[in-house]
Every structure is written in C-alpha cells, then in structure tokens.
Amino acid sequence: MSLTKDVLATTLPVMEHFYTIQGEGYHQGRAAYFVRLGGCDVGCVWCDVKDSWDATRHPLMIIDDILLNIKQTPAKLVVITGGEPLMHDLTYLTSALKENGFETNIETSGSHPLTGTWDWVCLSPKKFKAPLPEVLPAANELKVVIFNKTDFAWAEKYAALMPPQCKLYLQPEWDKANSITPLLINYIKLHPKWELSLQIHKFVNIP
C-alpha cells in the first residue's frame, strides 16, 4: 500500500531519537534532543551511522508523536540529523517544533533542497555528493570533516562561499583522529579563521 502525500508530510523515518549533549561544532556542550532520520544517498566511506542509509529499515513516526517525546524532556534545542535529513520535507516538523517554542538546528551535507524553518544550519559538505549552491547562503556553521590532507583545500573552497558571519570548523575523522588532529591544530594556527571541532560525546561515551 502506497503512502499518500498527506501521510508523507506528517511522518518521517526515524532511526533513533534521544536527549543528550551536543558533542561538536558551535553548540558543543549544550543539552539537545536529537532526531536521527533514516535515508542517505551521500555514501561517506567513513560514515559512523551507515545503518541510517536505508530509510526503509526505519519505522515511520508520526511527527506529533516525535514532538510528544521531546516535550517529556527539558530540551530547548532540537537537532535534526541523519543520514541526510534533507532527503525529507521538514516543513511540518519544524513548524510543529517552532510552535512549541523549540530552537531548531539541522546538520546536513546540503545535497538536497533546504526545507523547514531553522534557527541554525550546520552545513557539512561531502566530496561524495557536493552541496547544492542554493543551500550555501543559509549556513550558520560550516563543519568540514578532515580525512586526509587534500580535504583542507576542499574546506577552503567552501569557506570562500559561506556568508560573512558563518562559523568555520575543522573536525578530524574519528578513526584517524590521532594522526589528523595535530595537522588540524597546525592548520588552524596558520589560518585562525577556522576553529577546532572535536566529537566530545565519543570521548565521554554518550549518544
């Protein structure tokens, strides 16, 4: 049985959702409710949530039920991530969150059109599927994962396209952090427009 357009607009495939501490980027250290959506066609070889890629593996949740779960916590900030969350129309989700006073934050590669109303857009462009040019002006934060030395040029390419007030972060790929982090530190010292982002949630072993 196929889903109607109305059903698709008010449900989303949710891999997991949980209340935790934001571990990286501009909002690092803040309490946040995460909603991880299923579905991704970017295909990063180093992705740490490959189980999210196939949206059909994850149950469709009614957005109003997602909201009820969030309201059972003291959360003020809600982070929508994936997978690639912009594979889905997020208009209804963000409308419901905003109407209930939540701060909306998305983490995206920018590879699909931007939908929804956002207080903060974290753009993390990937070489495997480049972001759409029309998404770039909406970025409040550019977070580039560094996997090898050639990624610095990739980072600079997108830094040059960001709006003036966009925050710029370099983040080591987790499995190569021991070798990559010293390179990031040296690079940031030479190019102080960048800041270092570390996945502190992995250090303290929380979701």
Pick the CATH number of 5-203 from 3.20.20.70, 3.40.1080.10, 3.40.190.170, 3.40.50.300: 3.20.20.70
pLDDT value, residue 43: 81
Instruction: Determine the pLDDT at residue 9.
Output: 67
What is the overall mean pLDDT for the chain? 93
Q: What pLDDT, on the 0 to 100 scale, is given for residue 50?
A: 78
**How far apart are alpha carbons 85 and 183 in whole angstroms?**
30
What integer pLDDT is reported at residue 4 of this predicted model?
A: 42
Residue 53 vs residues 20, 58, 83, 91: alpha-carbon distances, Å? 22, 10, 6, 21
- Residues 1-49 have pLDDT tens digits of 334 444 456 999 999 999 999 999 999 999 999 999 999 988 877 777 8
Percent of the chain with pLDDT over 90: 82
Residue 206 pLDDT more than 70? yes
pLDDT digits (tens, 9 = 90+) for 55-84: 889 999 999 999 999 999 999 999 999 999
Domain chopping of the chain, boundaries: 5-203
Q: What is the pLDDT of residues 127-136, one digit of tens each?
A: 889 999 999 9
Which pLDDT does position 44 carry in this prediction? 76
CB 158 within 8 A of CB 170: no
